[in-house]
Structure 1
């Protein structure tokens, strides 16, 4: 019996889809085992980016959930406890009030984090403040407030390093906007500054076996409620890419990427559609061209307002 050559392509597609499915299932299983019993701190667990708390909790991590609203933290706590699978071992999260606008409390907060379990294995810095305004209209007080939240807050939390260095292990992750890699007009430069800090920190602590990662994403689209249990598409699928082009990054997709970064210890991740990626490369290769494009965009926006 001669095998029809016309059937070769469909069979290859089915085989590739099957292998891809098996790969995803294996990676999902491994992701749970790799974070089991790890002490994971999430600095803003009540935000859309904090969706990763559900993934880490199901994976058996010892969570320390931070936020500036106690009621929201308790609501998240109840949600995690209620959705826990009784057949799998999970740990009740610990809750910590964290307000980056109150820098005087930061020393007590870091002490409380470390005292919860005696150490921290993974620190996820995902707190940030957004601002869009011309430089001349921003007061010095607001500038300082933004720097406290977007820069001094995450950098202060890295002072838990003395608990990681003796164990020669640990992972610090900065979840930052793409603006950290590409200065955008009318946006605060604080995210650019914190990106540089974490790049420096990565080189400093590498000899101690500590991993420092940065995840640079476009805007977070939380218009449609997204649950980690119900993904409309796989993170690497064409549908997810198309979704980013039209709507930015879904919290569930970013949560998957945070988990993947922890498991694979990736040092730098860019989660965006092609246009910001091209702009990042133009900043290094053709800066004059990029500056001209940004300047033209500012003029157009001013004319539109007038």
Structure 2
């Protein structure tokens, strides 16, 4: 026993000395871990980027208001991903311009030439014909992205009933009617995805946005109900609530850069169209039911609305009084 023990010690001593020689200095551990973590994150993002393209390939994707900043960014992302696009808009010239920008440098072996459809939600009588035309493009709809929106900032008493109805048509009746129109195609195939690009004002009303907030609240409620009703058919309904869109960041002629998950800094001055478009793509790929794109202040306001509504109402009312007082101040030289 003593001999075997001494042999074991002599055999393990060189091994221990080699392991000690191979050990990294403690100062190198943290940089090495950072490099490994960065490598893993890079591989993860590349895999997700590849999957985002493969998941929408050959899917029939309908985008409303495709000629807007967000619509153009979405069209570029889904077109590069190999989706079969049906692009809707109110202007044929702008649709053709978007068509040219998408197909000019595209590989026809990897992408499909988009279909173009005139769609104007202010003309509700034409929606039935539009639904039929959309269905005739490919015979089905896999993804419907309701992106259309009309904004208005004005005191309640200055908004006419006609303008109220126009906003409701574009922001609520239009998307809901179009969703109803494509539902039979999705139900028959027991698959489909409807995405409502809404606004945080569909969950939190802001002064001087009465008609806009009302239309967004109505749309939010409709698609929440729709989500529950069509789940049994394998149809997914998603809503994306964002803060105001920073239209000044829209550059239609520039290629769409890959956008990371939006940070609070990116959302402080509004959502860039490219960031929102990437979030729409992620929502479709990951089948998320509800997404909120907002910096901390609106998020806190949403919690206050639920937990301490009286406090929030007082803060909002005080803000309105302050803005009214500021409008009364006339600049003058001293």
Q: Same fold (TM over 0.5)?
A: yes
Partner residue of 2:61?
A: 40
8 Å CA contact 1:68–1:99 kept in 2: the answer is yes
CA distance in 2, matches of 1:288, 1:304: 24
Alignment counterpart, residue 15 of structure 1, candidates 36, 39, 44: 36
Question: Offset of 1:68 from its aligned partner?
Answer: 0.3
- Whether 1:217 and 2:242 are equivalent positions in the alignment is yes
Cα shift readout 1:17-45 (whole Å, capped 9, x = no counterpart): 21111111101111111111111000110
Partner of residue 241 from structure 1, selected from 241, 257, 264: 264
Q: Which residue of 1 aligns with 2:274?
A: 252
Q: 1:138 matched to which residue of 2?
A: 159
Please name the residue that 1:60 is paired with: 82
- Partner of 1:127, secondary structure, is coil
Are the equivalent residues in 2 in contact too, given 1:39–1:117 (CA < 8 A)?
Answer: yes
Residue of structure 1 aligned with 2:97, choices 75, 87, 94? 75
| 1:116 paired to 2:116 | no
1:84 corresponds to:
106
Q: Is the 8 A contact 1:226 1:250 kept in 2?
A: no
SS of the residue corresponding to residue 166 of structure 1 reads helix
CA RMSD of aligned residues (A): 1.5
Q: Tell me which structure has the larger Cα radius of gyration.
A: 2
1:222 CA drift (Å): 2.5
User: Unpaired segments of 5 or more residues in structure 2?
Assistant: 1-20, 329-334
**CA shift for structure 1 position 234:** 3.7
Q: Secondary structure at the match of 2:247?
A: coil
CA contact (8 A) 1:41 1:122 kept: yes
1:98-135 superposed Cα distances (whole Å, 9 cap, x missing partner): 11111111110111111111111100000000001111
Q: 1-side partners of 2:259 and 2:25: how far apart?
A: 33
**Corresponding position of 2:324:** 302
For residues 77-116 of structure 1, give each alpha carbon's deviation from its aligned partner in whole angstroms, at most 9, with x where no partner exists: 0000013135x42111000011111111111011111111
CA shift, 1:6, in A, is: 2.0
Q: TM-score, normalised by structure 1?
A: 0.95
Shift of 1:304: 1.4
Matched residues in 2 for 1:230 and 1:108: separation? 33
Match of 2:201 in 1: 179
Work out the number of aligned pairs and report it. 301
Cα distance in 2 for residues equivalent to 1:214 and 1:281:
19
Following superposition, which runs of at least 4 residues in structure 1 exceed 6 angstroms of deviation?
A: none
- Residue 297 of structure 1 deviates from its aligned partner by 1.0
CA deviations on 1:156-183 (whole Å, 9 max, x unpaired) are 0012101111211000000011111111
Q: Distance in 1 between matches of 2:203 and 2:188?
A: 32
Which moves more between the two structures, 59-68 or 15-24? 15-24
Unaligned runs of 5+ in 1: none
TM-score by length of 2: 0.87
